[in-house]
Amino acid sequence: MTLAAGVALGGFVGVLATAIPAQAATQGPCDIYASGGTPCVAAHSTTRALYAAYNGNLYQVRRSSDNTTLNIGVTSAGGYANAAAQDSFCSGTSCVITEIYDQSGHGNNLTDAPAGGAAGGPDALANATAAPTTLNGHEAYGVYIAAGDGYRDDSTSGIATGDNAESEYAVLDGTHYNSGCCFDYGNAETDAHDDGNGTMEAIYFGTEKAWGYGAGNGPWIMADMENGLYSGVNAGYNSNDPTTNYRYTTAMIEGGANQWAILGGNAQSGGLATDYSGARPNVSGYNPMHKQGAIILGIGGDNSKSSAGTFYEGVMTTGYASSATEASVQANIVAAGYGSGGTSTGGSAGELHAVGAGKCLEDPNSTTTSGTQVDINTCSGGANQTWTRNSSNELTATVSGSTFCLDANGKGTTAGTKVIIYACNGQTNQQWTVNSNGTITGVQSGLCLDVTGASTANGALVELWTCNGGSNQQWTLS
């Protein structure tokens, strides 16, 4: 989609290895699609295998300390991502996701998106630790797309072109989104330019209303068909396309000859709702379609990249999947157990990473003076950057034998309140809620722990601020 202008913390973790043994799936989503006569031609996931027999790599990470890379595979055939390998490799430094491998055998791997018709490029790469999650107790990481991040493959194999039929699904974080253009996954132009109506067919998720929108305030699942985000038969409002913001959201788009559909549901329970099923938009260029067969993630077809969102898994098929097939795929996603079990809410100790800055929360200069405002700095592993969440919901650091609590200065409840170290006293301004969307909020104030001005500089101060979904309010502990 073209537009010139324009979170997920699965608990409080650095995604530690668990003692839960991996169990191979008896059937994956792509096995189900194949049985239904609509086989996968692209299958991407950083969390699990999408075929019961898949035993290859899921994705690749690169660490900043020496720019070396590591492929992250599964713990067993048909199993979950080997998050422990990533944790070990990225320990003491930061990592980005450099490639997301296609499990279908077609070689449709997603890499850094190049410059396109929209301003800017090549795109930035996703922080590899910004979207920790669990699947049936197994730790894994999603792909956290901040504005400016994006992935693409313009030289694909097997992807639908022209007016040929396809089906697409993605499992997304329904609480991480914005109104920027365009958080997409699916079929796009092969030249990274806006090539006109009908040259795309991708899942869109967010609150952009310039072309189409649904009921409520959003976010909505819509189809990006280029020069239009469609929630129904025409641009504009479709009251049957609901706000869909489950923590783990299943989003589906199906497209064939003058027929397409939107389906959505809770990726943790229940079935799918059909938000639209009918004819193509009644505008020149969409019937027949002119799909080109590239694959994008987190961006629009012309590399518009002001969007945000989190992706866990998704596929593209050849052929228009039946409702029975899609129902079986949804049941498989639910059975994968996103967000269930594991130690993702545990009270472990480690560095508290500011996702947007790639720095660590610290007690500046290891001071033992209560009232000192905390800041962010290059991660060093020092005691002044080691934080523990205890059973009282306090965040504590022990420096030179003294233990301090993270504290909202003066029991402040207004945006801009300084966050300081202070002697622990059991009061609510020293208690913190760790949220599944990656934020940390003060129990007393309800405000978010925030890096002032979204700065990425060493010494940037930390305060309380109204929660706004920004990457400067995203945190992980490792």
Judgement on whether residues 76 and 192 belong to the same structural domain of the protein: yes
Q: What are the residues whose beta carbons fall under 8 Å from the beta carbon of 88, sequence distance 6 or more?
A: none
Count of structural domains within the chain: 2
Q: Are residues 46 and 170 in the same domain?
A: yes
My answer on whether 137 and 276 are in the same domain is yes
- Kindly state whether residue 18 falls inside one of the protein's structural domains: no
Mean pLDDT of the chain: 89
Residue 5, burial from CB neighbour count under 10 angstroms (0-12, 13-18, 19+) = exposed
The span from the first CA to the last CA of the chain, in angstroms, equals 37
* Shared-domain flag, residues 328 and 445: no
Cα dist from 33 to 7, 19, 37, 40, 311, whole Å: 29, 32, 6, 7, 20
Residue 226: active-site member: yes
CB-based contacts of 335, cutoff 8 Å, min separation 6: none
Provide the pLDDT for residue 21: 35
Residue 108 lies in a domain: yes
Going by their DSSP bridges, the two strands 309-317 and 294-297 should be labelled as: unpaired
Distances (CA, A) of 339 to 8, 247, 333, 350: 11, 9, 12, 22
| Run of H or E residues at 230 | strand 229-230
Tokens of 378: 């290059």
CA angle centred on 199, ends 196 and 202, rounded to 5°: 125
Q: How confident is the model at residue 82 (pLDDT cuts 50, 70, 90)?
A: very high
pLDDT of the residue at 478: 64
Select from 111, 200, 194 the least CA-distant residue to 150. 111
Domain identity same for 177 and 311: yes
Residue 4 forms part of a structural domain: no
Q: Which of 99, 112, 226, 313 is catalytic?
A: 226
Out of 173, 302, 394, 407, the active site residue is: 302
For 171-210, what is each residue's pLDDT tens digit?
A: 999 988 999 999 999 999 999 999 999 999 999 999 999 9
Q: Based on the fold, state whether residues 313 and 379 are members of the same structural domain.
A: no
| Within a domain: 208 | yes
**407-455: pLDDT as tens digits:** 999 999 999 999 999 999 988 899 888 776 778 988 888 899 999 999 9
The answer to whether residue 370 is domain-embedded is yes
Question: The domain spanning residue 74 has which CATH number?
Answer: 2.60.120.200
Range in 25-29, 246-250, 285-289 the model is least confident about: 25-29
CB atoms within 10 A of CB 145: 30
pLDDT recorded at residue 13: 35
Look-up of token digits 């409520």: 216
* One-letter amino acid for residue 165 of the chain: A
Closest by CA to 356, choosing from 429, 220, 456, 227, is 456
Of 10-14, 299-303, 412-416, where does mean pLDDT reach its minimum? Answer: 10-14
- For residue range 146-178, what is the model confidence (pLDDT) as tens digits? 899 999 999 999 999 999 999 999 999 998 899
169 and 53 Cβ atoms separated by less than 8 Å? no
- Domain end position, chosen among 335, 366, 381: 335
Domain assignment of residue 109, given as a range? 29-335
Going by C-alpha positions, the residue among 340, 336, 342, 339 that lies closest to residue 25 is: 336
Do residues 185 and 95 share a domain? yes
CA gap 180, 3 in Å, rounded: 8
Same domain, 239 and 106: yes
Q: Judge whether 342 lies within some domain.
A: no
Helices (H) and strands (E) in the chain, counts: 3, 33
- Beta strands 349-354 and 259-266 are unpaired
Domain C-terminal end among 307, 335, 363: 335
Same domain, 327 and 355: no
Out of 275, 301, 335, a domain closes at: 335
Task: Say if CB 375 and CB 364 are below 8 A apart.
Answer: yes
Cβ atoms within 10 Å, residue 73:
18
Percent of the chain with pLDDT over 90: 72
For residue range 114-130, what is the model confidence (pLDDT) as tens digits? 999 997 779 999 999 88
Confidence of residue 10 (pLDDT cuts 50, 70, 90): very low
Residue 272 in tokens: 């799918």
Is the residue at 391 inside a domain?
A: yes
**Residues 316 and 372 grouped into a single domain:** no
Q: How far is Cα 385 from Cα 407, in angstroms, rounded to an integer? A: 15
Is 142 within the bounds of a domain? Answer: yes
The two tokens of residue 54 are: 């898949």
CB under 8 Å, gap of 24 or more: what pairs does 66-70 form? 69/98
331 in the same domain as 439: no
Distance CA 238, CA 274 (A): 13
Predicted pLDDT of residue 228 = 94
For the residues of 403-421, what is the DSSP string, one character each? Answer: EEEEEEGGG--STTPBEEE
Alpha carbon of residue 10 to chain centroid: 11
| Beta carbons of 298 and 147 less than 8 angstroms apart | no
Sequence-ordered strand ranges (E) for 267-385: 272-278, 294-297, 309-317, 349-354, 359-362, 375-377
Q: Is 163 a catalytic residue?
A: no
Total length of the chain: 478
Handedness of CA 462, 463, 464, 466 (dihedral sign): negative
Query: Do 323 and 402 sit in the same domain of this protein?
Result: no
> How far is residue 49's CA from residue 40's CA, in Å, rounded to a whole number?
13
**Average pLDDT for 268-286:** 96
